[in-house]
Amino acid sequence: MIVAERKPLNEILEMIKPYRNLLIMGCGTCVSVCMAGGEKEVDILATELRMAHKKVGEDHHIEVATIQRQCDREYVEPVLSKIGEADAVLSLACGVGVQYVTEVAGDTTIVLPGVNTEFYGANLDAGVWAERCAGCGECILHLTAGVCPIARCAKRLLNGPCGGSQEGRCEINREVECAWQLIYQRLEERGQLELLEEVIPSKGWKTSLSGGPRKVVREDVQL
């Protein structure tokens, strides 16, 4: 899932300062699961903002709404009237949601980011999420025992470790496991060390992002 963290309250207050009528809009999927932008988080933020405005004697009107997905037109369109009534929308969705709500609602609609989008991750423990995928579009997990070197190696090395790791820990950050140590151990346990002999070519434009925004088109499901 996409993992995000809410921006600090002071940063949000500064961002919304010019707008008197504000709509705080949550998203019911990824950011809801990581407790950054779901219905509960929307209500909490609305309360915090109202209290902050009251404290300094400012008059702001705040509405709230949480939809299933801000990256899907069918969920955005039912709240377009509510969006239109606001001077600005404070979105608690990931960066995709912020951009897509603007596209659906119209270019003059001001949609502000209320969270910082971090990465694609997994829930390791209560309140702990860790990056597992960089969305590079050229998956090689079948060669690396299910460990992504793009997301989990600090240097994004594709054909073995850098030589700087010690005791299975990354030389850049001792709290981070060496991805290639994990890959080797798993392949050894599976009896698949021969996969290390296959040279993985450098990533193309998809990973470097030098080719511009990517798109997936499924002709079999288009109307």
Per-residue pLDDT tens digits for 125-178: 999 999 999 888 888 999 999 999 999 999 999 999 998 988 899 999 888 999
What are the pLDDT digits (tens) for 86-123?
999 999 999 999 999 999 999 899 999 999 999 999 99
What are the pLDDT digits (tens) for 164-223?
988 899 999 888 999 999 999 999 999 999 999 999 988 765 555 556 676 778 788 777
pLDDT at 54: 94
* CATH assignment, 2-119: 3.40.50.2300
Instruction: Answer yes or no: are the C-beta atoms of 123 and 165 closer than 8 Å.
Output: no
pLDDT at 137: 81
The predicted model scores a pTM of 0.85
pLDDT at 187: 95
| Span(s) in the chain for CATH 3.40.50.2300 | 2-119
Of 20, 69, 70, 29, the C-alpha closest to 49 is: 20
Which residues in 70-83 are b (16+ Cβ under 10 Å) and which e?
bbeeebbeebeeeb
pLDDT at 210: 58
